[in-house]
C-alpha cells in the first residue's frame, strides 16, 4: 500500500510453503484479490502447497485456520533449487510425495519403493518425475473439488494428527512433513485396527518413511498426552458437528474420509502408536 500498488499488480511468492501461503493470502485480501505467481523452492511446496489455491496463516489455536482459496496465475518449478535444501527439508517434502501414492496412486507408491534412494540422492530425472506425478495426482482431484467440499479432503491423510503435533510442539520444532509422516502412521495404524490394512501393508508404509529418515511415531506421552492431542485435533478445520473426521486407508492407494469410528478406537490409536 505504501508503494501505491493497484489491482493490476501481481505478487510473486519465491520461497517455500510459508512464503507461498502468506503471499497468496495477501494477494487474496489486497483490494479484494490481485494476481500472484508461485515460484516454490522446496520439495514440499513444489508438490503440495503451491498447487491447488489454498493460502493461509497459522493461529496459536490451529494450523492454517485463517486463509482463502485463491488460485495462482501459474506455478514455476525449478528443481535446481532443491540442491539448496538441507537433508531434513528434502525428507519433509517426501512425506507429501508418499502421501499421493497412499491416497490414490498405488502404482506411484510402488515406484517410490523402488526409487526412493534416487530421490534422496537428488537425481534430477527421479525428482522431476516424482514432482510431476505428484502435481498430476493433486490437479486431478482439485479439478473436481477446488474448495474441499468432499473429495479434496483426501489430501489430509495424516494431517489431522500431524497438525496437532505441529501445534502442540510449537510451530517449527516439527517440520510440516515430519508431522505428516508421524500422523500418517497413526492413521495407517488406525486403519489396521479397523481391519482395512494388513500388518504387511503397515510395515511397507513404515519402511518407506524410515528410508527417508522421517519420524514414524508422534511425541511421547510425556511431551503431549492424549488429552492435549485430542483437544488440538478437535480444533481442526475438518471437524463437522463436533466429530473429528479422519482420512484413513482401505488399502495402499485407496483413501476415504470418515467420522464413523468409536472414541475408544481413536484413544487406543493415540495410546498404542507412540
Query: CA–CA separation, 103 vs 68, rounded Å?
Result: 24
Question: Is 211 annotated in the active site?
Answer: no
Point out the catalytic residue in the list 63, 70, 133, 138. Answer: 138
Question: Is 32 annotated in the active site?
Answer: yes
Residues with Cβ within 8 Å of residue 165, at least 6 apart in sequence: 174, 178, 179, 182, 183, 218, 219, 224
Point out the catalytic residue in the list 156, 166, 237, 245. Answer: 156
Query: CA–CA separation, 204 vs 79, rounded Å?
Result: 28
Query: CA–CA separation, 183 vs 205, rounded Å?
Result: 12
Point out the catalytic residue in the list 99, 163, 238, 245. Answer: 163
Q: What is the DSSP string of 77-96?
A: --GGGGGGS-HHHHHHHHHH
Question: Is 70 annotated in the active site?
Answer: no
Point out the catalytic residue in the list 63, 70, 133, 176. Answer: 176
Dihedral sign from CA coordinates of 199, 200, 205, 209:
positive
Point out the catalytic residue in the list 96, 99, 237, 245. Answer: 96
Residues with Cβ within 8 Å of residue 27, at least 6 apart in sequence: 11, 33, 34, 35, 36, 55, 70
Around 273, how many Cα atoms within 13 Å sit in the side-chain half-sphere? Answer: 27
Query: CA–CA separation, 137 vs 96, rounded Å?
Result: 12
Residues 196, 260: contact at Cβ < 8 Å? no
Pairing of strands 54-59, 62-69: antiparallel
Q: What's the DSSP call for residue 221?
A: T
Question: Is 163 annotated in the active site?
Answer: yes
Question: Is 250 annotated in the active site?
Answer: no
Point out the catalytic residue in the list 63, 99, 159, 238. Answer: 159
Query: CA–CA separation, 65 vs 237, rounded Å?
Result: 7
Point out the catalytic residue in the list 148, 178, 237, 238. Answer: 148
Question: Is 54 annotated in the active site?
Answer: yes
Point out the catalytic residue in the list 63, 70, 152, 237. Answer: 152
List residues with catalytic annotation: 32, 54, 96, 138, 148, 152, 156, 159, 163, 176
Amino acid at each position: 500500500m505504501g508503494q501505491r500498488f493497484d489491482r493490476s499488480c501481481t505478487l510473486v511468492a519465491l520461497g517455500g510453503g510459508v512464503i507461498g501461503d502468506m503471499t497468496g493470502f495477501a494477494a487474496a485480501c489486497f483490494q479484494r484479490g490481485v494476481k500472484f505467481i508461485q515460484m516454490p523452492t522446496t520439495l514440499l511446496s513444489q508438490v503440495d502447497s503451491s498447487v491447488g489455491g489454498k493460502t493461509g496463516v497459522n493461529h496459536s489455536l490451529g494450523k492454517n485456520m485463517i486463509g482463502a482459496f485463491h488460485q495462482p496465475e501459474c506455478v514455476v518449478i525449478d528443481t535446481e533449487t532443491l540442491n539448496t535444501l538441507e537433508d531434513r527439508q528434502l525428507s519433509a517434502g517426501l512425506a507429501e510425495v508418499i502421501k499421493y501414492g497412499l491416497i490414490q496412486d498405488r502404482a506411484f507408491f510402488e515406484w517410490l519403493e523402488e526409487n526412493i534412494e534416487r530421490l534422496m540422492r537428488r537425481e534430477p530425472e527421479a525428482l522431476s518425475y516424482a514432482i510431476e506425478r505428484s502435481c498430476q495426482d493433486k490437479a486431478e482431484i482439485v479439478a473436481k473439488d477446488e474448495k474441499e467440499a468432499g473429495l479434496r479432503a483426501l489430501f489430509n491423510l495424516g494431517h489431522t494428527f500431524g497438525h496437532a503435533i505441529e501445534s502442540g510442539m510449537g510451530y517449527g520444532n516439527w517440520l510440516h512433513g515430519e508431522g505428516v509422516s508421524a500422523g500418517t502412521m497413526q492413521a495407517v495404524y488406525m486403519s489396521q485396527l479397523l481391519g482395512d490394512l494388513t500388518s504387511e501393508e503397515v510395515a511397507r508404509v513404515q519402511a518407506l518413511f524410515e528410508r527417508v529418515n522421517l519420524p514414524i511415531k508422534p511425541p511421547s506421552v510425556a511431551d503431549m498426552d492424549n488429552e492435549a492431542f485430542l483437544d488440538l485435533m478437535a480444533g481442526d478445520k475438518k471437524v463437522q458437528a463436533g466429530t473429528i473426521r479422519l482420512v484413513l486407508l482401505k488399502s495402499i492407494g485407496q483413501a476415504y474420509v470418515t467420522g464413523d469410528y468409536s472414541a475408544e478406537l481413536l484413544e487406543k490409536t493415540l495410546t498404542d502408536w507412540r
